[in-house]
Amino acid sequence: MRMSVLSTGGRMPSWVSEGWQEYANRMPPNLPLQLVELSLAPRSKQGSTVKAQAQESQRMLKAIPSPAHVVALDPKGRSLTTEQMAERMEHWLQDGKEVVFLIGGPEGLSDECRARADEMWSLSKLTFPHMMVRVLLAEQLYRAWTIIQNHPYHR
């Protein structure tokens, strides 16, 4: 099984890239975590953010491999505990399908991306910058894996 994160945005600050890499590297070889960065659509002072979001969403939908189990990260999604996330990961491991996480840009995910998702999760009731979400997600996926392995990382 493989897990991929489709995220809009590029040219992340070094702390984002380093944070992502730290947790992605901790994942075992049989459960790799891959980041696919999709470029942000151009924005202008007169431009519509709805148009930019639609362009980003089309890129994201085209990048989803088939077949895949899609999890959209969205404030309207279901909140999970880390233990519940570990249970979901065990289910995915048994299923064997690639799991793809969708992280939207500054305006979030479009209705089309949310409709394509098999699950919608909210990482928190707080609002985070989209670039920070990739680091939080990578850490939580690593933590869920350590729970499955009875590793002491999650105490």
- Check the annotation: does 40 bind a ligand: no
- Check the annotation: does 80 bind a ligand: no
Q: Is the dihedral of CA 119, 68, 39, 143 positive or negative?
A: positive
- Check the annotation: does 146 bind a ligand: no
Q: Tell me which residue of 114, 110, 139 sits closest to 124, measured CA to CA.
A: 139
- Check the annotation: does 124 bind a ligand: yes
- Check the annotation: does 128 bind a ligand: yes
CB 128 within 8 A of CB 19: no
- Check the annotation: does 125 bind a ligand: yes
Q: Tell me which residue of 139, 67, 63, 119 sits closest to 96, measured CA to CA.
A: 67
State the binding site. 73, 104, 123-128
State the binding site for S-adenosyl-L-methionine. 73, 104, 123-128
